[in-house]
Amino acid sequence: MLIPPQSSPTCVRIVLSSSGNYWVRMASHLLKFNFAPSSWQQQFFQSPRRRLNLLSTHHIRPHPSSLTVYASLSTSNARIPRPVSVERSDYRTLESHCFGILRTRMNELGIDIGVCTPGQPIRILCPMCKGGESSEKSLSLFISQDGDSALWNCFRAKCGWKGNMRAHPDRKSSYGKPNQVEKVKKIRELSEESLELEPLCSELLGFFAERMISGETLRRNAVMQKQCGGDQIVIAFTYRKNGALVSCKYRDVNKKFWQEKDTEKIFYGLDDIKEASDVIIVEGEMDKLAIEEAGFRNCVSVPDGAPPSVSAKDLPPEDRDIKYQYLWSCKEYLDKASRIILATDSDSPGQALAEELARRLGRERCWRVRWPKKNEMDHFKDANEVLMYLGPTVLRETIENAELYPIRGLFNFSNYFDEIDAYYHRTVGYEIGLSTGWNSLNELYNVVPGELTIVSGVPNSGKSEWIDALLCNLNKKAGWKFALCSMENKVREHARKLLEKRIKKPFFDTRYGESVERISVEDLEEGKRWLNDTFYLIRCENDNLPNIKWVLELAKAAVMRHGIRGLVIDPYNELDHQRPAIQTETEYVSQMLTMVKRFAQHHSCHVWFVAHPKQLQSWVGSPPNLYDISGSAHFMNKCDNGIVIHRNRDAKTGPLDQVQVCVRKVRNKVAGTIGDAFLTYNRVTGEYTDDG
Ligand SMILES: Nc1ncnc2c1ncn2[C@@H]1O[C@H](COP(=O)(O)OP(=O)(O)OP(=O)(O)O)[C@@H](O)[C@H]1O
């Protein structure tokens, strides 16, 4: 029996013949398929006259060998089930397309998959070993149900050829799950009648009224109710797109939520953001209604609530971003928005939701709402709570006062107001720098945590001695502790110099000690304790030179473990400065000083870096310039403070124990200014005192 097509030429009609075969009319051809119906089809075709309209000719992919044109009817295999399904039409189109590509690719390997039935393994002749002497069909071949992938294995031990291939390597396939037919979710069509929704009863209107949601808002948002078994009535939030019912979410008295299955995931209130340039996103339907009470209709709610935390993974591609499908399916609505206000809950899942939305929507057009404080400790949780406790005006103001969503690396000054206030009120300490302990330097140089001071001077000018004296002063004045990376100093000699300055007595009573009483054993014991509590030594225990990274890592540990406030690196040239061949010394120094400065700033630690001047050809005894530092002008350019230590070596021009502290650069005017101070060096105790 054949029923001719009646409508469009692209329409194909299938009619179940009395013999159980299908007749298909395509354009001017009459085709016959000799496959048999699946059980689903058998049910569908209960009546031999029942017809099935398909959208295109591609919707059926019969077994290639089973397709004949004007062929005579074969009834012999009419009851053998074939893996043909006509209900998943779009999907089949894709499958046959994949199958074609896969077939071409597999042909190149010498395998013709035309003989295969997707989803069912078969044995064929292996193109590699040809089945050996007995020509056995040793290659097991499996084509996935979606026709996108092939898997094969030759079971002959001597061959063992195996492999796999994909038609679309990037596409998600059912490959690897041979027996699993990919599920295509059908989206249900809904109506108020089919869901048995009813207008809200007076009890539920009362429930909403208690939450400050008016009847007018409920009507406009088509909030309904449903009888759920017995006499239980639940709220039905209707999800609509262009006015049509797309999904429905229910809420019972116990605040339990559930949603209609197999429906499209969209935002609640989607039609309200059509063409909106400002869009408000909230975390629940009640909040969407509350926002409307505050005067904003351009608001939607996410359908599924908030995640427990922000995912640490990179964003998945849209088609695999399952939890946020609603966002992608409503993308065209949000694309038009220039400002998206994230008004999610104030709790941590709510904040995680805001972050997940901002990641996907683009932080640059996102704003976030800060819910008002409930008490000293807590904030109101969401829009509905604010509406109930503070009213629609405050809710409106809260939304209007949304702040820019933070973007890592991009700040406002307001992000720093606390820090600026603390700086102004000097509550952190040392904002204007810590005095060196020498009055003559008070106007010129003060030590600010987080800054870098380069100390230079010709050899033997007393750079190390002066820094040691400075550290002793800072420790005495403010209890600061320090890490010392002084490669040139033997530990015992460094200890001697520091103890002499601290105890103000010579370590020995010979030669330089003149006849001054030396440090006593008791002094030594107390001094050792002080040394131990005040200084931490960074030293390379083998003969290798330490590099700057290594030094800074240890200094960081000293900050964390011992709370050091200063680091001395003395001198620069004793570090390992190996650099890549393509890097110039200038580039290297710049990079190294950047690292040092970053360490100083991050850890609020002052760094003194000793760097020698290059060999001065015609040095006449005057203090060198900071630009004379060997290696690079970057020492001068990059430091916060630049100091040259100089001493008179000619008795005719002045006292030999006089030390000139030349402050050559001070970036921070709060901490000092350029100028020279003169100190007197005490050779016996190593102390420096103000001149005069
Ligand atoms: N004003 C001064 N008068 C006399 N001797 C001094 C004076 N300043 C420092 N010295 C002595 O000079 C020697 C070298 O001092 P120091 O090690 O501090 O110099 P430096 O500039 O760090 O040397 P280098 O460049 O070799 O590292 C020490 O023995 C110190 O006692």
Ligand 1 atom with minimal separation from the 466 CA: 18
The domain total for the chain is: 3
List the CATH number of the domain containing 280. 3.40.1360.10
Residue whose pair of structure tokens reads 């901490």 in the numeric block: 671
Return the bridge partners of 340, or none: 279, 366
Residue 57 belongs to some domain of the structure: no
CB 331: neighbour CB atoms within 10 A?
12
Residue 229 confidence class, pLDDT cut points 50, 70, 90? confident
H or E stretch covering 169: none
Hey, whose CA ends up nearest to atom 14 of ligand 1?
460
Residue whose pair of structure tokens reads 């105790």 in the numeric block: 685
Ligand 1 atom with minimal separation from the 658 CA: 1
More confident site: 612 or 500: 500
Q: 633 with 538, same domain?
A: yes
Asked whether residue 57 carries a pLDDT value surpassing 50, the answer given is no
For residue 689, how far is its CA from the centre of ligand 1 (angstroms)?
15
Q: 466 with 570, same domain?
A: yes
Most informative mutation of 460, 463, 574, 689 for ligand 1 (most atoms within 8 A of CB): 460
Most informative mutation of 465, 514, 688 for ligand 1 (most atoms within 8 A of CB): 465
- What is the Cα–Cα distance from 144 to 223, expressed in whole angstroms? 46
Ligand 1 atom with minimal separation from the 461 CA: 21
Instruction: Map residue 55 onto helix, strand or coil.
Output: coil
Residue 66 belongs to some domain of the structure: no
- What is the Cα–Cα distance from 692 to 679, expressed in whole angstroms? 9
For residue 643, how far is its CA from the centre of ligand 1 (angstroms)?
15
For residue 578, how far is its CA from the centre of ligand 1 (angstroms)?
29
| pLDDT tens-digit series, residues 502-543 | 999 999 988 887 778 999 999 999 999 999 999 999 998 777
Hey, whose CA ends up nearest to atom 9 of ligand 1?
462
CB 626 within 8 A of CB 645: no
Residue 678 belongs to some domain of the structure: yes
Q: 655 with 550, same domain?
A: yes
Return the bridge partners of 142, or none: 151
Most informative mutation of 461, 467, 572, 647 for ligand 1 (most atoms within 8 A of CB): 461
Q: Cα 253 to the chain's mean position, in Å?
A: 39
Q: 443 with 486, same domain?
A: yes
- What is the Cα–Cα distance from 34 to 25, expressed in whole angstroms? 14
Q: 275 with 154, same domain?
A: no
Asked whether residue 94 carries a pLDDT value surpassing 60, the answer given is no
Most informative mutation of 454, 458, 464, 660 for ligand 1 (most atoms within 8 A of CB): 464
Residue 50 confidence class, pLDDT cut points 50, 70, 90? very low
Q: What is the mean pLDDT of residues 231-250?
A: 95
Whether a cis peptide bond, with omega within 30° of 0, leads into 571 is: yes
Q: What is the mean pLDDT of residues 496-501?
A: 96
Predicted pLDDT at 128: 87
Q: What is the mean pLDDT of residues 649-654?
A: 83
Of 468, 503, 504, which is closest to residue 486 (Cα–Cα)?
468
| pLDDT tens-digit series, residues 508-518 | 988 887 778 99
For residue 459, how far is its CA from the centre of ligand 1 (angstroms)?
8
Q: What percent of the chain has pLDDT over 90?
A: 56
Q: 205 with 352, same domain?
A: yes
CB 639 within 8 A of CB 593: yes
Q: Are strands 366-368 and 403-404 parallel, antiparallel or unpaired?
A: antiparallel
Strands (DSSP E) contained in 252-304 are 257-259, 278-282, 299-301
Residue 64 belongs to some domain of the structure: no
Torsion of CA 387, 388, 390, 393, to 10 degrees: 30
Q: What is the DSSP string of 134-148?
A: TT---EEEEE-TTSS
Q: Residue 100 belongs to what domain range?
A: 93-166
Return the bridge partners of 22, or none: 16, 33
Residue 246 confidence class, pLDDT cut points 50, 70, 90? very high
Q: 554 with 674, same domain?
A: yes
Residue 242 belongs to some domain of the structure: yes
Q: What is the DSSP string of 293-321?
A: HTT--SEEE-SS---SS--SSPPPPGGG-
Q: 490 with 636, same domain?
A: yes
Last residue of some domain: 404, 422, 449?
404
Q: 514 with 588, same domain?
A: yes
Hey, whose CA ends up nearest to atom 2 of ligand 1?
657
- What is the Cα–Cα distance from 472 to 254, expressed in whole angstroms? 69
* Interface confidence (ipTM) of the complex: 0.93
As a whole number, the mean pLDDT across the chain is 82
For residue 460, how far is its CA from the centre of ligand 1 (angstroms)?
4
Cα angle vertex 594, ends 588, 596, to 5°?
105
Q: 370 with 331, same domain?
A: yes
For residue 687, how far is its CA from the centre of ligand 1 (angstroms)?
12
Q: 540 with 655, same domain?
A: yes
In three-state form (DSSP H/G/I as H, E/B as E, the rest C), the secondary structure along 478-547 is: HCCCEEEEECCCCHHHHHHHHHHHHHCCCCCCCHHHCCCCCCCHHHHHHHHHHHHHHEEECCCCCCCCCC
List the CATH number of the domain containing 595. 3.40.50.300
CB 633 within 8 A of CB 446: no
Q: What percent of the chain has pLDDT over 70?
A: 83
Hey, whose CA ends up nearest to atom 13 of ligand 1?
460
Predicted pLDDT at 179: 44
Residue whose pair of structure tokens reads 């908030």 in the numeric block: 306
Residue 185 belongs to some domain of the structure: no
Asked whether residue 60 carries a pLDDT value surpassing 90, the answer given is no
Residue 20 confidence class, pLDDT cut points 50, 70, 90? very low
Cα angle vertex 69, ends 65, 73, to 5°?
80
- What is the Cα–Cα distance from 210 to 388, expressed in whole angstroms? 8
Residue 67 belongs to some domain of the structure: no
Residues flanking ligand 1, CB < 6 Å: 457, 459-465, 488, 571, 612, 647, 656-657, 659, 681, 683
Of 678, 681, 640, 686, which is closest to residue 433 (Cα–Cα)?
640
CB 154 within 8 A of CB 162: yes
| pLDDT tens-digit series, residues 589-629 | 899 999 999 999 999 999 999 998 877 666 667 788 877 77
**CB burial of residue 424 (10 Å; 0-12, 13-18, 19+):** exposed
Last residue of some domain: 121, 148, 166?
166
Q: 523 with 632, same domain?
A: yes
Of 435, 467, 496, 491, which is closest to residue 685 (Cα–Cα)?
496
CB 688 within 8 A of CB 679: yes
Last residue of some domain: 404, 427, 460?
404
For residue 605, how far is its CA from the centre of ligand 1 (angstroms)?
26
41-55, 83-97, 350-364, range with greatest mean pLDDT: 350-364
Residue 157 belongs to some domain of the structure: yes
| pLDDT tens-digit series, residues 541-560 | 777 788 899 999 999 999 99
Hey, whose CA ends up nearest to atom 1 of ligand 1?
657
Long-range contacts, stretch 216-222, CB < 8 angstroms, 24+ apart: 217/289, 217/292, 217/293, 218/289, 220/292, 221/269, 221/288, 221/289, 221/292
Stated pTM of the model: 0.58
Asked whether residue 681 carries a pLDDT value surpassing 50, the answer given is yes
- Half-sphere exposure in the Cβ direction for 540 (13 Å, CA): 18
Tell me which DSSP letter residue 583 carries: S
Ligand 1 atom with minimal separation from the 681 CA: 1
- What is the Cα–Cα distance from 225 to 208, expressed in whole angstroms? 12
